[in-house]
């Protein structure tokens, strides 16, 4: 195992992973805060460090369309986008998964308009949570790089054949410089391997149809097959992570606990906010408060059993959502976590919507959440705080 320590932004880390993966085709369109990722990768191609064919398109809809065409032809394909770019891809995102195409896409998370905003929240990723794309989430630049290398293996596995999106927070991760490890090119290439498509439009000996008209006779069955592939991907994700640990020396799971085992009050979160919460937990522990964190790394397929097992005996749980479901019961992560705990635990669970449009999530806000949880833990009832769903840090 050979490693090189570098100071890179999250976007640089993604571009470096793409260079080492060396996909056949990358079709993309620039959008803040993704732009510097594709600029960096394009420089790698221009310098001869990657053999990728970059397709310059006129929109994100065209980018995903080009990716679908190239993947149908049997190419290893990647793209990248953010926010409104993903929204413009919307139609084709669903087509990519329904065609069972192993496209991999870094998604640099950014708020959706309107009003227009270029900063981080998770409304873009949560908008495609039911589109048939596997979702991995990164806490920092190292995880951006590591998740992308694993994503290719997951997507291209013959038992999966679903696209994968690797999420990371816009600006907070994408533009911040961090120390991280880059692995040896030969090790990465061996791990990634050569893509051998199961189906391709370019093999006249095995004619294949993509995009046929799916009447009621077959549509339901095809959707059910996608659901089965998503469920079955759990084993592949775990197997790939185990193999990858031999390169990186770290263990990647569906969820990750921080001081969780003996914790009484727990925050559930994903993305960069987990790093901030760690500092609060360390401080609370010094004061004798048994606080912990459950980080979700894999959001699709949803790790219901793992989350339920980790939280079933806790006294109080708060789920943090950086996206608002706008008058659903709560945010998208909250709804799924609470559903996953149904009939498995009596733990009270509350929801905090935070950080929309890039608003800071600081130590004070996280301390407020743990303070509320401590109050709930005393009574065992969620109504110990003002609301089941709280908008954290918003001005009244």
Q: DSSP letter string over 200-260?
A: -TT-TTS----S----TTTHHHHHHHHHHHHHHHHHHHHHHHHHHHHHHS----SEEEES-
* Of the candidates 107, 198, 212, 217, the residue with the CA atom closest to the CA atom of residue 155: 198
**Cα gap 197→200, rounded to integer Å:** 7
Q: What is the pLDDT of residue 384?
A: 66
The pLDDT score that the predictor gives to residue 382 is 78
CATH 3.40.50.920 range(s) for the chain read 255-391
* Three-state DSSP class for residue 271: coil
- Confidence (pLDDT) at 13: 98
**List of the chain residues with pLDDT < 70:** 1, 384-386
Outline which parts of the chain fall under CATH 3.40.50.970. 3-248
pLDDT (tens digit, 9 = 90+) per residue, 20-74? 999 999 999 999 999 999 999 999 999 999 999 999 999 999 999 999 999 999 9
Structure tokens at 298: 């894999």
Residue position matching structure tokens 């620039």: 30
Residue 386 has a pLDDT of 67
Backbone dihedral region of 325: left (phi > 0), alpha (psi from -120 to 50 degrees) or beta? alpha
CATH fold, domain 255-391, is Rossmann fold (3.40.50)
pLDDT for the residue numbered 380: 85
Q: Is 7 exposed, middle or buried (0-12, 13-18, 19+ CB in 10 A)?
A: exposed
Instruction: Answer yes or no: pTM beyond 0.95.
Output: yes
Contact in structure between 305 and 256 (CB atoms under 8 Å): no
Q: What is the CATH number of domain 3-248?
A: 3.40.50.970
pLDDT at 317: 98
Torsion of CA 309, 336, 85, 152, to 10 degrees: 30
Task: Give the CA distances from residue 156 to residues 94, 95, 136, 309, 331, in Å, rounded to whole numbers and listed in that order.
Answer: 17, 17, 15, 30, 31
- Distances 37 to 31, 135, 183 between C-alpha atoms, Å: 10, 19, 19
**CB–CB of 356/322 below 8 Å?**
yes
The neighbour count for residue 305, using CB atoms within 10 Å, is: 12
């Amino acid at each position: 195992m050979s490693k090189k320590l570098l100071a890179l932004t999250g976007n640089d880390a993604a571009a470096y992973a793409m260079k080492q993966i060396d996909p056949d085709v990358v079709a993309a369109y620039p959008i803040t805060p993704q732009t510097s990722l594709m600029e960096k990768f394009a420089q790698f191609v221009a310098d001869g460090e990657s053999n990728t064919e970059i397709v310059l398109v006129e929109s994100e809809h065209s980018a995903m369309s080009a990716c679908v065409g190239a993947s149908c032809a049997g190419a290893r394909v990647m793209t990248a986008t953010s926010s409104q770019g993903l929204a413009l891809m919307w139609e084709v995102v669903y087509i990519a998964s329904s065609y069972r195409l192993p496209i991999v896409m870094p998604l640099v998370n950014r708020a959706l308009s309107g009003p227009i905003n270029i900063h981080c929240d998770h409304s873009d990723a949560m908008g495609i949570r039911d589109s048939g794309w596997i979702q991995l989430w990164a806490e920092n630049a190292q995880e951006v790089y590591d998740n992308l290398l694993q994503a290719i293996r997951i997507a291209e596995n013959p038992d999966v054949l679903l696209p994968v999106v690797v999420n990371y927070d816009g600006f907070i991760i994408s533009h911040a410089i961090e120390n991280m490890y880059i692995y040896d090119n030969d090790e990465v290439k061996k791990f990634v391997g050569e893509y051998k498509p199961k189906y391709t439009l370019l093999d006249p000996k095995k004619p294949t149809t993509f995009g046929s008209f799916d009447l009621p006779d077959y549509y339901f069955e095809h959707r059910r097959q996608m659901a089965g592939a998503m469920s079955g991907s759990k084993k592949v994700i775990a197997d790939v992570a185990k193999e990858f640990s031999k390169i990186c020396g770290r263990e990647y799971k569906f969820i990750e606990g921080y001081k969780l085992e003996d914790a009484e009050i727990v925050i559930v979160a994903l993305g960069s906010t987990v790093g901030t919460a760690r500092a609060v937990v360390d401080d609370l522990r010094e004061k004798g408060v048994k606080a912990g964190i459950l980080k979700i790394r894999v959001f699709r397929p949803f790790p219901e059993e793992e989350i339920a097992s980790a939280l079933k005996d806790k006294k109080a749980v708060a789920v943090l959502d950086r996206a608002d479901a706008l008058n659903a019961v709560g945010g998208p992560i909250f709804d799924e976590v609470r559903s996953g705990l149904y009939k498995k635990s009596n733990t009270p669970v509350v929801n905090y919507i935070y950080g929309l449009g890039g608003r800071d999530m600081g130590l004070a806000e996280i301390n407020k959440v743990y303070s509320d949880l401590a109050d709930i833990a005393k009574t065992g009832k969620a109504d110990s705080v003002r609301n089941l769903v709280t908008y954290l840090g918003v001005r009244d």
